[in-house]
Structure 1
Amino acid sequence: MKSFIKHAIFTLTLMMSATVFAQNAQLDKILTSITSHKITAGDFTQEKYSSALKKPLKSSGTFIFSQDKILWRTLKPMKTSTAVTPDYIIQTTASGKRSVIESSSSEIFGTVASAMTSIFSGDSSEIEKYFDVTVSDGHEWTITLAPKDMTISSALKQIIIGGSYEGTAAKLNSFTIMQSDTDYTKYSLKNIKFKETLSNEDEAYFIK
Structure 2
Amino acid sequence: MKRKFFVGVCAVFMAVYAAAQSVTFDLVCENLAKHPNMTGNFTQVKTIKAVNRSLKSNGTFIFSLEGIMWKTEKPFPSSLAVGMTTVIQTKADGTQTVIDASSNQIFTSISTTLSSMFSGNAEGLSENFNVSFSSSGNLWTAVLTPKDSVVAAVLTSLSVSGTATASFAELDSIVMTEASGDTITYSFTDQKYPKELTADEKACFTAK
Q: TM-score under structure 1 normalisation?
A: 0.79
CA RMSD of the aligned region, Å?
A: 2.1
1:174 corresponding residue in structure 2: 173
Q: CA deviation at 1:126?
A: 2.4
In the comparison of the two structures, how many residue pairs are matched? Answer: 184
SS in 2 for 1:111: helix
Q: CA deviation at 1:135?
A: 0.9
CA distance in 1, matches of 2:185, 2:96: 24
In the alignment, is the contact (CA less than 8 A) between 1:68 and 1:120 conserved in 2? no
Superposed, which structure 2 residues align to 1:184-203 within 5 Å? 184-203=183-202
The amino acid of 1:133's aligned partner reads V
> Quick one: structure 1 residues 206 and 68, their matched pair in 2 at CA, closer, same or farther if it must change by over 3 Å?
closer
Structure 1 stretches lacking a partner, 5+ long: 1-24
Task: Work out whether 1:45 is the aligned partner of 2:43.
Answer: yes
Task: Work out whether 1:161 is the aligned partner of 2:135.
Answer: no
In the alignment, is the contact (CA less than 8 A) between 2:58 and 2:72 conserved in 1? yes
Deviates more, 1:64-73 or 1:106-115: 106-115
Superposed, which structure 2 residues align to 1:1-208 within 5 Å? 26-138=24-136, 139-165=138-164, 168-180=167-179, 182-208=181-207
SS in 2 for 1:52: helix
CA distance in 2, matches of 1:174, 1:108: 16
> Quick one: structure 1 residues 181 and 135, their matched pair in 2 at CA, closer, same or farther if it must change by over 3 Å?
farther
In the alignment, is the contact (CA less than 8 A) between 2:105 and 2:154 conserved in 1? no
Structure 2 stretches lacking a partner, 5+ long: 1-22
The amino acid of 1:194's aligned partner reads Y
Aligned residues with identical type, % of pairs: 33
The amino acid of 1:159's aligned partner reads L
In the alignment, is the contact (CA less than 8 A) between 1:39 and 1:65 conserved in 2? yes
> Quick one: structure 1 residues 46 and 111, their matched pair in 2 at CA, closer, same or farther if it must change by over 3 Å?
closer
CA distance in 2, matches of 1:51, 1:157: 15
1:19 corresponding residue in structure 2: none
CA distance in 1, matches of 2:182, 2:99: 22
Measured against aligned partners, the alpha-carbon deviations of 1:42-62 in whole angstroms (never above 9, x if no partner) come to 111110101134431111101
Q: CA deviation at 1:78?
A: 1.1
The amino acid of 1:142's aligned partner reads T
SS in 2 for 1:29: helix
Q: TM-score under structure 2 normalisation?
A: 0.79
Deviates more, 1:45-54 or 1:102-111: 102-111
CA distance in 2, matches of 1:156, 1:173: 20
> Quick one: structure 1 residues 188 and 108, their matched pair in 2 at CA, closer, same or farther if it must change by over 3 Å?
closer
In the alignment, is the contact (CA less than 8 A) between 1:35 and 1:67 conserved in 2? no
CA distance in 2, matches of 1:112, 1:167: 25
Measured against aligned partners, the alpha-carbon deviations of 1:165-207 in whole angstroms (never above 9, x if no partner) come to 3674222110111104740100000111121111111111111
